[in-house]
Amino acid sequence: MRGTVAALLAKELALELRTRESVPAMVMFSITTYVIFHFGLDANTVDGDLASGVLWVTLLFAAMLGVNRLFVAEHEQGGFDGFLLAPVDRTAMFVAKAITLFGFLCVVEIVAVPAFALLLLGPPLGQALPGLIVVLLAANIGIAVIGTLVAALAIQTRARDLMVALLALPLLVPVVLGAARATAPLLDHGGAQALPGDWLALLALYDLLFALIAYAIFDFLLED
Amino acid sequence: MLTTAFALVFFYAPVDADQGIIQKIFYVHVPLAIVALCGFVAGGIFGLMHLRTRDRRWDMRSYVTIHLSIVLAVGVLITGSIWARASWGQWFVWDEPMLVVFLIVFLLYATYQPLRFSIEDPEKQSRYASVFAITAGAFVPLCFGAVRMAEGLTHPQAATMTTSGPASVSQTFLISLIGMALLFVTLCKYEMASKNATFKLRALRRRLAGEDDDFAAPVARSAAPQL
Amino acid sequence: MPDSQPAVSLRGVGRRYGERVVLRDVTFDLAMGQTLVVFGPNGAGKTTLLRMLATLLRAHRGEVSVLGRALPDDGYAVRGQIGFLGHEPLLYRELSGRENLRFHARLHGVLATRVDKVLEAVGMAHRADDPVAECSRGMVQRLAVARAVLHEPELLLLDEPLANLDPAAITQVDPLIGAQSGRTRVLTSHDPAAGLAEADLVLGLKGGRAELLAPAADVTTDQIAELYA
C-alpha cells in the first residue's frame, strides 16, 4: 500500500510539473477573485468576519478548479485501467489523490494567503499566522477528502464540471463554515484573538468522519 | 390515517395563543421534514446494501426512497416558508440553522437525479448513485446533529413543543407523524410496484417481439434504475 | 498450478449493458500455452470478453476462471500475471515512455532495470524520454506492448495488437507477444487468414453469442468470413 501510494504520488508530481494544469490556474484564480472582491465590495481593506469570508470563499472556489482536474488524466488516458490491472490495493488511489489535492491546496495557499494580506487584508497577517496555518491545514484535509470523493463520483458523468460544483459545495458547507468562523477572530481589526477551539474541533471531527466514509466506499467507484 | 390526523389537527388540537390558526401547519411541516430526512438516511442504507449485495433491487429501493424524499422536501420548504412568513414575517430566515441545513441538504439531494441521468452505463449509474446516497445519507444526520448541539432559539422544536404543550398537541402531532410515515411507505411501495410492472411488461414485449430479444429497440436512457 | 488445468475457463458467461446483452452463454476452455483468437464484427463482444478476463469487468452470469483462479473473487491474485493490451495504450500522454513504464514497474513491483530491457526490445530506447504525446501511433503502440509485457505475464490479452504497427515493428514485438513468446494468449483479430495462422483455438462471436468454437485446424477462412456477413 505504501509503495503504491508513493508510486502514484511520484506520477502525480511528475504530471503536474510537466503540464502545470492545476496549481497555477488555482493561484491565478484566487488572485483574480481578490480583485473582483475589491470592486464588488468597494473596499480597500477588510477585516474580521468579512475578511475570513472573502478568504474562504476564494479558496473554496479555487479548490473546485483542482477538484475538477483531479481525475481527468486517469479518465481520458486510461490511468484507471492501468492502475486496476496492477496487483495493488485500490484504496491507494484514494489516499494518493487526496494527498495530491491536499498538497496542491497547500501550495496554492502559500501564494494566495500572502497575496490576500497584501491586497485586501486590513490587520497585519503576522500575528494571525500560527492560528491561521492550523485552520488552513484542518480545512485542507476536509476539502481534499471530500473533493477526491466528489471528483471520482463526477468523472464518469457527462457534465463533470457542473456535477463537481453541485455535489462538492453543499458537502463542503460545514468545512467552510467551521474554517470561516475559526478564522474570523484571527483577522479581527483589533489584532488577532485566540483561536476558537470549538469550531476547530468541529472541523477536525468532520474531516475524520468523511475521511472514514470516503476510505470505506471509494473502491466501489473504481471497478467496472 | 392521514385524514384522521388532519381532522384532529383542525378540530382537536388547541389553537396556538400567539400564532393563531397558521400554527396548524406545524402538523404538516414537521412530520414532513422528519419523514423526508429519515427517507434520505434510509436511501443511504439501501445504497450500502446495494454495494454489498450487488442486487439491483436495493438500488431501486434507494432510488425510490430518495426520489420521494426529495418530493417531500419540496413540501417541507413550501410549508416551512408559509409558516415562517406568517409567524416571523419573512419567507426565509438565515440565522436559523435548522432552515439553512435543510436547504443545504435539499440542494445536495437535488443533484441526485442529474447525477444518475448523466452516467450512461446503467451499472455504473447504480453504483455511483449508491455511493452518493451513502455519503449524503451520512451527511444528513451529521449536520442535524451539529445543529442540535449549537441550537438556535427561534425554531420551535418538535420535542419541546409537544412535551410542554397540552396532551392534545402531542397526540395530534404523533398521529400526524405516523400518518405521514405510513403515507411515505405506501407511496414507496406503490412506485416500486409500478416500476416492477413496467419492467415486466417491457421484458414480455421483448419476448413477444421474437427470439432475438436482445436487440429490441433500446429504451431511452433514464435516471431511474433498471431491473 | 497443475498443467492439466486450463489457463482460461468460461462456463455460460453472460454480460449485460443495461438491458442489452453483450455476451451470452459463452463457454470454452483454453489450455496453458495455447492461443485463442476471437473473431467477430464490431460490437460482437470481443472487447467485453477481454476486459472480463483482465478483471476489469465482472460477469453477470456464469463462471470465469483465469489461471486456475475464480473471478472476480480471486482477481487480486490473477492481476499481476495478466498482460493486457487494449485499444487504449494506458499511458499518460504528458509523461515520457520511460516515466510511464517506471510507474507501471513500481505498481507491479518490477525492477527498474527491466524497463530499459523492455524498451530496448520494442525498439523504443532512443525515444524513451520523449513525452508520449509526441510519439506517432505506431510508437505509442510499441510502448503499449512494452507496458503489457513489463511484468512477464503468463497470460496475454491482446485486442488487435498489431494495429498501427509497421512490418518492422511487427517482427520486433513478435518475440514478446507473438506465438514464440510461449505465453498463453487470447487475441482478437479482423484478419481471417493471419488470425487463423496464429490460432490453436478459434472463437467466433456474433451478437454476443459464440457462433463458432473449434480447434484452428478444423476452421476455414470462409467460416470466419461468414461471421462478418
Q: Render pLDDT for C190-218 as a digit per residue (tens, 0 to 9).
A: 888 888 888 899 999 988 888 889 888 88
Q: Cα separations (Å) of B181 from B30, B38, B157, B186, C54?
A: 12, 9, 19, 9, 47
| Comparison of pLDDT for A217 and B152, the residue scoring more | A217
Q: Is residue B203, in this structure, part of any structural domain at all?
A: yes
- Give the mean model confidence (pLDDT) for residues A83-96: 91
Strand, coil or helix: what is C3?
A: coil
Q: Is residue B38, in this structure, part of any structural domain at all?
A: yes
Q: Is residue B225, in this structure, part of any structural domain at all?
A: no
Query: Which of B128, B130, B132, B149 would best serve as a mutation to test chain A binding (most A beta carbons within 10 A)?
Result: B128
- What is the identity of the amino acid at B172? T
Distance from CA of C227 to the nearest CA of A (A): 29
Q: Is residue B224, in this structure, part of any structural domain at all?
A: no
Q: Give ipTM to 2 decimals.
A: 0.87
| Chain B environment of C17 (Cβ under 8 Å) | 121-123
Question: Which CATH number goes with the domain that contains B89?
Answer: 1.20.120
Distance from CA of B215 to the nearest CA of C (A): 7
Q: What spatial distance separates the first Cα and last Cα of chain C, rounded to whole Å?
A: 41
Number of residues that this document lists for chain C:
229
DSSP for B105-131, written as a single string: HHHHHHTHHHHHHT--SHHHHHHHHHH
Cell triple for residue C174?
513478435
| Comparison of pLDDT for B167 and C61, the residue scoring more | C61
Cross-chain residue pair A85–C77, CB shorter than 8 Å: no
CB within 8 Å of chain A, chain C residues 44-103: 51, 54-58, 76-77, 79-80, 82, 84, 86, 88-95, 99, 103
DSSP for C25-63, written as a single string: EEEEEE-TT-EEEEE--TTSSHHHHHHHHTTSS--SEEE
Q: What is d(CA B221, CA C70) in angstroms, rounded to the nearest whole number?
A: 33
Distance from CA of C55 to the nearest CA of A (A): 7
Q: What is d(CA C157, CA A137) in angstroms, rounded to the nearest whole number?
A: 45
State whether residue B123 sits within 8 Å of chain C by CB.
yes
Q: Is residue B82, in this structure, part of any structural domain at all?
A: yes
Q: Is residue B155, in this structure, part of any structural domain at all?
A: yes
Strand, coil or helix: what is B218?
A: coil
Query: Between the CA atoms of C102, C103, C105 and C111, what dihedral angle is there, to the nearest 10 degrees?
Result: 50
Cell triple for residue A208?
475524520
- Give the mean model confidence (pLDDT) for residues B205-223: 55
Domain count, chain B: 1
| Model confidence at C185: pLDDT above 50 | yes
Phi-psi map region of A121: left, alpha, beta (phi>0 left; psi -120 to 50 alpha): beta
Among the listed residues B75, B45, B99, the one whose alpha carbon sits nearest the alpha carbon of residue B183: B75
Query: Which of A74, A77, A88, A89 would best serve as a mutation to test chain C binding (most C beta carbons within 10 A)?
Result: A77
Q: Is residue B179, in this structure, part of any structural domain at all?
A: yes
Can you give C57-121 as a three-state secondary structure string? Answer: CCCCEEEEEECCEEECCCHHHHHCCEEEECCCCCCCCCCEHHHHHHHHHHHHCCCHHHHHHHHHH
Distance from CA of C17 to the nearest CA of A (A): 11
Number of residues that this document lists for chain A:
224
Q: What spatial distance separates the first Cα and last Cα of chain A, rounded to whole Å?
A: 21
Q: Is residue B161, in this structure, part of any structural domain at all?
A: yes
- What is the share, in percent, of chain B residues with pLDDT greater than 90? 21
| Chain C environment of B122 (Cβ under 8 Å) | 17-19
CB contact at 8 A, B26 and B87: no
Q: Which domain holds residue B148?
A: 2-207
For the segment A25-78, what is each residue's pLDDT rounded down to a tens digit? 999 999 999 999 999 998 888 888 899 999 999 999 999 999 999 998 888 888
